[in-house]
Copies of this chain bind each other. A is one copy, B any other.
Amino acid sequence: MEILDRKYRILQAIIDDYILTALPVGSRTISRKYEQKLSSATIRNEMSDLEDLGYLDSPHTSAGRIPSNKAYRLYVDQMLQPIPLSLEDVAYIRSCFDQRSRQIEQISTRLARALSGVTHYTAAVMTRMPREEQIFSHMQLVPVADRRVILILVTESGAVTQTPVELEAAIDPDVLYTVSKFLSQRLAGCAMSRLQQALLEIAEGEPEEMSKLLKTLAAQDDDNMDTGSLVVGGRSNLLSFPEYSDVEKARNLLSVLETRDKLVSLLNTHGEMEITVRIGPETGMEELKDCSVVTASYRMRDGRVNTIGLIGPTRMQYGRVLSVLNQVGRSIYELFDSQDDEQK
């Protein structure tokens, strides 16, 4: 048991050192820097055991050891200790939410920049509005040109979307306003996912002209609500890591970061709200086999779900990254509180 504990400590020391230096760790390094009571020979024996157990790999005979993915898994699950952030870092993260920036895009962009700046990894920030959970509050049709109008939808939680719509015939602005009022009343409380169907049902009992308009509207509003925004920051950070000094590797990785679909699938961690760490192959993407991805989701006041992904080498500073993401969570709730104050 005592030995087990020592093995743990040694493994942890190796991982810590490797995360810092990216260089294979030798027994002497550990004996000098971390376990001064033990000789390098003893460490060597332990390291040999750890290799047998699958926690360490050796790149070649005389090059020290590097942690395996299994080791990182253990590290993340059991060895992690919170790393306090500097005041500057906390302030930087807070500042993303500070100004009452109305545009989500703006928050996302700033957040992506701040997170990549603070962690030196690449940050992806995705915002989406799961329409299943949204409830219709009201709508308005705004005339633009002869036959063009804009359909504004407002949900109970206060989210707004606009969709341009092409009508079959020109309609007087006053009529549009009346129709808007009528529909707002009829549809109030309807789930956004049922909106289309509800519109068609209303269309049934209405005169020809009105029915046509409603059908046009129903046809339009399709999947406009849950295509959210996706912003990536700090791509160039990846190139500073020695693991990507091979340009070909870097190129592969970068091209993943340019493929929206791949990024989205990476950030979609099946609705869990907790922080998720995926190490190497656990990401499920060949191109990311020596990357780790840490994702976290936050539900915003207005029903939006913000998902953040931090992408770096497998020897990521997991402790620090987790602290950063926790700080983001804290800042978001602070934001809510301050909004409450504002309302009073």
Is there a chain B Cβ closer than 8 Å to A333's Cβ?
no
Identify whether the interface residues of A are mostly helix, strand, loop, or mixed.
Answer: mixed
Q: Which of B143, B163, B245, B251 contacts A138, CB < 8 Å?
A: B143
**Inside 8 A of A247's CB, which chain B residues have their CB?**
239, 244-245, 247, 250
B164 touches A102 (CB 8 A): yes
Q: How far is the CA of A276 from the CA of B229 in the complex (A)?
A: 32
Residues of A133-178 whose CB lies within 8 A of B:
138, 140, 142-145, 148, 150, 152, 154, 158, 160, 162-164, 173, 177
A144 touches B164 (CB 8 A): no
Residues of A53-80 whose CB lies within 8 A of B:
none
Among A181, A240, A254, max chain B CB count under 10 A is at: A254
Is there a chain B Cβ closer than 8 Å to A236's Cβ?
yes
Across the interface, name the chain B residue whose C-beta is closest to A146: B343
**Inside 8 A of A142's CB, which chain B residues have their CB?**
140, 142, 152, 154
Is there a chain B Cβ closer than 8 Å to A299's Cβ?
no
Is there a chain B Cβ closer than 8 Å to A215's Cβ?
no
Contact with B along A219-246 (1 / 0, CB 8 A): 0000000000000011110011000110
Contact with B along A233-269 (1 / 0, CB 8 A): 1111001100011010011001101100000000000
Across the interface, name the chain B residue whose C-beta is closest to A159: B144
**How large, as a class, is the contact surface on chain A?**
20 to 34
**Inside 8 A of A240's CB, which chain B residues have their CB?**
251
State the Cβ distance, A286 to closest chain B Cβ, in Å.
16
Q: Which of B144, B154, B244, B245 contacts A160, CB < 8 Å?
A: B144
**Inside 8 A of A258's CB, which chain B residues have their CB?**
233-236
**Inside 8 A of A150's CB, which chain B residues have their CB?**
152, 160
Q: Which of B163, B181, B239, B257 contacts A251, CB < 8 Å?
A: B239
Q: How far is the CA of A240 from the CA of B248 in the complex (A)?
A: 8
State the Cβ distance, A136 to closest chain B Cβ, in Å.
13
Across the interface, name the chain B residue whose C-beta is closest to A229: B105
Q: How far is the CA of A163 from the CA of B101 in the complex (A)?
A: 11
Across the interface, name the chain B residue whose C-beta is closest to A233: B258
Q: How far is the CA of A162 from the CA of B164 in the complex (A)?
A: 12
Among A138, A142, A163, A244, max chain B CB count under 10 A is at: A142
Provide 9 A-B residue pairs closer than 8 Å at the C-beta atoms, listed in order of the A residue.
A140-B142, A144-B158, A150-B152, A152-B162, A160-B162, A162-B162, A235-B235, A236-B258, A239-B251
Not counting A152-B162, A162-B162, A235-B254, a sample of 13 additional A-B residue pairs whose C-beta atoms are within 8 angstroms of each other reads A102-B164, A140-B143, A143-B154, A144-B158, A148-B158, A150-B160, A152-B152, A160-B162, A173-B181, A239-B250, A244-B247, A247-B247, A250-B250
Using CB atoms and an 8 Å cutoff, list the residues of chain A in contact with chain B. Answer: 102, 138, 140, 142-145, 148, 150, 152, 154, 158, 160, 162-164, 173, 177, 181, 233-236, 239-240, 244-245, 247, 250-251, 254-255, 257-258
Identify the 8 closest CB pairs spanning chains A and B, nearest first. Answer: A236-B254, A239-B251, A236-B255, A140-B142, A102-B164, A142-B152, A144-B154, A236-B251
